[in-house]
Amino acid sequence: MSTVLDTRSFLRWCWRQLTSMRTALILLLLLAIAAIPGSLFPQRSQNPIQVKQFFAENPETAIWLDRLSLFNVFSSPWFSAIYLLLFISLIGCVLPRSIEHLKAIGAKPPLTPKYLDRMEFYTEIKKIDLDKVEKFLRKKHFRIRRDENSISAEKGYARETGNLLFHLSLVLILLAVGIGSLLGSRGDAIVNVGDRFINTPTSYDILSFGKYQAEDSLPPFSLTVTDFKAEYDPVTNAAIDYELTVLTANPAGSKEIKKIIKVNQPLAYGSTKIYLQANGYSPIVIVRDKSGKIIFDGPTPFLPQDANLSSIGAIKIPDMDPQIGFVGSFLPTADRDPIRGGFSSYPEVLDPRLLVSIWKGDLGLNTGIPQSVYRIDTSKMERIGLKALVLNESYDFGEGSITFTGWKSWVNLQIVNDPGKGFALVGAILAILGLLISLFTRQRRIWVKQSGKTQVAGLAKNGIPGLEQEIDELVKEMSNER
């Protein structure tokens, strides 16, 4: 029997500890501290390549850091524990207060205390008419409890309203983040200018779904990239503007409409948005076999390595025997220096060069292990040539030939569905509103009591200034009236 009681009182004690302000404060500070490693170590969610690099450079420490989730800080158990405890503490604190506050809305201010002289700003003045005081305070939107010999007036309930609104909005934001990650999807697709993208899972290079998001729930639009313009500053080489023109239909097959997508101007289909996230070049090559038959003819997207779009990539020809692979660099405006070798000196295509090293052997495409499309595993291959090609130049590498015939631009479309973001926005707006109301509303009480003379006193919550002047004004006004 007593153990049951003990358990219950222990749980109650725990709950009281958790919902106490001191605990909340400690959790808040812990949350701030726990976020720090997320900015110091590379995070998988943002920069998986940097994480891999970290592993390559410090393999032993990296394993330990990984065990502590330091590469996934914001989804780690300890970070989640802190914010979940914080939110439980917040709800445990705010819900009872909300109920109390709702009850208090209709209630009158508390009774006038017996000894006003112990309160702040106590003054004694000549007797004044309580009716006039009441009228004066009502005009100033005080709530009033009028007793026979006293008035108890209070103003500033909105402070608590704002405070509660703010905290409840934070809960809404947390829920919105949850909705987004459980019901959303996010994917990337690289599309060459001139190509068509149909929104099905197989069209993506990378695609991830939330836990409760079905794979067939993608909106059925199609999108043809008709033009991509990039404008650069000729002095600094920095990009000034990107403009992507597409013909799009929703659902695919219906009438196509021309749309422009820019960096700050995504295309939206419901809660799904299509973003222009990156761009680069796809050199076009024709590969022929020994007999001169065309085996491959088309663009291959290369990955930009720097601001001037020096790009690297791989052209894989598994249909030749032996298999052929080209490890290449594409330089839109070729330049040379003795240390770096070939590099690009401007991001636009002014003097293009395609550098290829040619490998023959086994491309390793049938091993079942997924491979990067930008790299070739050359462990089972032999290098048979190295060549820098200018436009329309051919090179014969014995097993066949390669001709560099042109280039296309490619764009990286990021397609994101976040059904939670509307709630997050509403939550954020309400949070600011609540914050403003609670920080700029002054809650205070004024009491006026008749006992021979008239006693006036007040109380300002949190010692917020301004009450003294208010009482002075009241006293002055009442004294002048007579």
Our CB check for another protein shows the closer of 45 and 149 to be: 45
Can residue 49 be called a binding residue for another protein (CB under 8 A)? no
With contact defined as beta carbons under 8 Å apart, do 350 and 318 qualify? no
Can residue 431 be called a binding residue for another protein (CB under 8 A)? yes
Our CB check for another protein shows the closer of 35 and 104 to be: 35
Edge-first strand order for the sheet with 453-460 is 120-125, 453-460, 444-451, 150-155, 143-146
Considering only residues 145, 259, 375, 421, which one is a binding residue for another protein as defined by CB under 8 A? 421
Considering only residues 88, 91, 239, 284, which one is a binding residue for another protein as defined by CB under 8 A? 239
Spatial distance between the Cα atoms of 205 and 203, rounded to a whole number of angstroms: 7
Can residue 32 be called a binding residue for another protein (CB under 8 A)? yes
Q: Per-residue contact track with another protein, 437 to 476, x per CB under 8 A?
A: --x----------------------x--------------
- Both tokens of residue 206? 């990378």
Which residues, including other chains, have CB under 8 Å from residue 114's CB and lie 6 or more apart? Answer: none
Can residue 25 be called a binding residue for another protein (CB under 8 A)? yes
Site for another protein in 176-235 (CB under 8 A): 177, 186, 233, 235
Task: Tell me the window of 114-122, 260-268, 286-294, 442-450 that interacts with another protein (CB under 8 A).
Answer: 260-268
Can residue 88 be called a binding residue for another protein (CB under 8 A)? no
With contact defined as beta carbons under 8 Å apart, do 130 and 450 qualify? yes
- Taking the complex as a whole, the smallest distance from the CB of residue 335 to another protein amounts, in Å, to 20
Considering only residues 142, 275, 281, 326, which one is a binding residue for another protein as defined by CB under 8 A? 275
Our CB check for another protein shows the closer of 5 and 40 to be: 40
With contact defined as beta carbons under 8 Å apart, do 256 and 225 qualify? no
Size of the site for another protein (CB under 8 A): 53
Three-class secondary structure of residue 201 per DSSP: helix
Can residue 238 be called a binding residue for another protein (CB under 8 A)? yes
Our CB check for another protein shows the closer of 45 and 451 to be: 45
- Both tokens of residue 126? 């000549």
Element holding 429 (H helix, E strand): helix 421-440
- Taking the complex as a whole, the smallest distance from the CB of residue 233 to another protein amounts, in Å, to 6
- Both tokens of residue 93? 């604190």
With contact defined as beta carbons under 8 Å apart, do 170 and 431 qualify? yes
Contacts 24+ apart (CB under 8 A), 426-429: 426/172, 427/169, 427/170, 427/172, 427/173, 427/175, 427/176, 428/169, 428/173
Which residues, including other chains, have CB under 8 Å from residue 113's CB and lie 6 or more apart? Answer: 119, 447
Can residue 277 be called a binding residue for another protein (CB under 8 A)? yes
Task: Tell me the window of 17-25, 56-64, 221-229, 295-303 that interacts with another protein (CB under 8 A).
Answer: 17-25
Distances (CA, A) of 230 to 48, 51, 240, 242, 336: 27, 31, 8, 5, 24
Can residue 304 be called a binding residue for another protein (CB under 8 A)? no
- Taking the complex as a whole, the smallest distance from the CB of residue 177 to another protein amounts, in Å, to 7
- Identify the CA nearest to 192 among candidates 226, 229, 231: 226
Please report how many Cα atoms fall inside a 13 Å half-sphere around the Cα of residue 80, on the Cβ side: 7
Can residue 436 be called a binding residue for another protein (CB under 8 A)? yes
Can residue 242 be called a binding residue for another protein (CB under 8 A)? yes
- Identify the CA nearest to 455 among candidates 152, 210, 50, 54: 152
Our CB check for another protein shows the closer of 37 and 385 to be: 37
By the criterion CB under 8 A, which residues form the site for another protein?
21-22, 24-25, 28-29, 31-32, 35-36, 38-39, 42-43, 45-47, 50, 73-74, 177, 186, 233, 235-236, 238-242, 262-266, 273, 275, 277, 307, 414, 416, 418, 421, 424-425, 428-429, 431-432, 435-436, 439, 462
